[in-house]
Amino acid sequence: FNLRSMKQRFKSDDAAADAGTHRETLNAEQIDAMAEQLNVKRSEVIEMETRLSGGDVMLDPAPSDDGEQAFGPIAYLTDTNHEPTAVIESRQRDTMATDGIATALGTLDDRSRRIVEERWLKVNDDNSGGMTLHDLADEYGVSAERIRQIEVAAMKKMKKALAAYA
């Protein structure tokens, strides 16, 4: 594309021009003539004209004389969504939440696993938790205190199993 040199040839007195930068607005006839001469589409001439007529934007600010930190547009372009440490933390958290919990539950006996699942992992349709200590105590024929003791022991065992994932 020799658009700048062609624009100089098409320059006319009635064009809105900035002589210092050779930027001018092309009219429809000039665009059509350029497209024909360059053997390109009219839309390509318009697109290139738009690109060439735009000014440069400095992304990094020039150092200031007073020593203060100046902010340029690049300071507002940061994307923290894919910051490497956040991605790694998220993956580790997901792994612990799925594989870790499943492995830790697998270390428990059936009664302890059911107590932990009912008390900590189950959500009812009404968004309430699972069974209470008293409900489980009635089901197993022991006291609510004994269910709590089993729960505490199971949680300690799970915590030890989850340490490998931390």
Which CATH number is 89's domain given? Answer: 1.10.10.10
Q: Does 91 share its domain with 27?
A: no
Instruction: Decide if 74 is inside a domain.
Output: no
36 within domain boundaries: yes
Report if residue 61 sits inside a domain: no
Q: Taking residues 21-40, report their average pLDDT.
A: 79
Half-sphere exposure of 138 (CA within 13 A, CB side): 4
Confidence of residue 95 (pLDDT cuts 50, 70, 90): confident
Task: Specify if 150 maps to a domain.
Answer: yes
Q: Which of 68-72, 106-110, 118-122 has the lowest mean pLDDT?
A: 68-72
pLDDT at site 70 = 64
In terms of domains, do 26 and 97 share one?
no
47 and 114 both lie in a single domain: no
With respect to residue 65, please indicate whether it lies within any of the assigned structural domains.
Answer: no
Are 137 and 147 within 8 A, CB to CB? yes
Q: Is residue 58 part of a domain?
A: no
77 within a domain of the structure (yes/no): no
Q: Which of 39-43, 56-60, 119-123, 149-153 is least confident? A: 56-60
Note whether 103 and 159 are same-domain residues. yes
Higher-scoring residue by pLDDT: 66, 122: 122
Domains of the chain: total? 2
What pLDDT does residue 69 have?
63
Taking the whole predicted model, whether its pTM rises above 0.85 is answered as no
Residue 72 included in any domain: no
Residues 49 and 88 in one domain: no
The whole domain housing 13 covers 3-53
Judge if 49 and 89 occupy the same domain.
Answer: no
Higher pLDDT, 129 or 119: 119
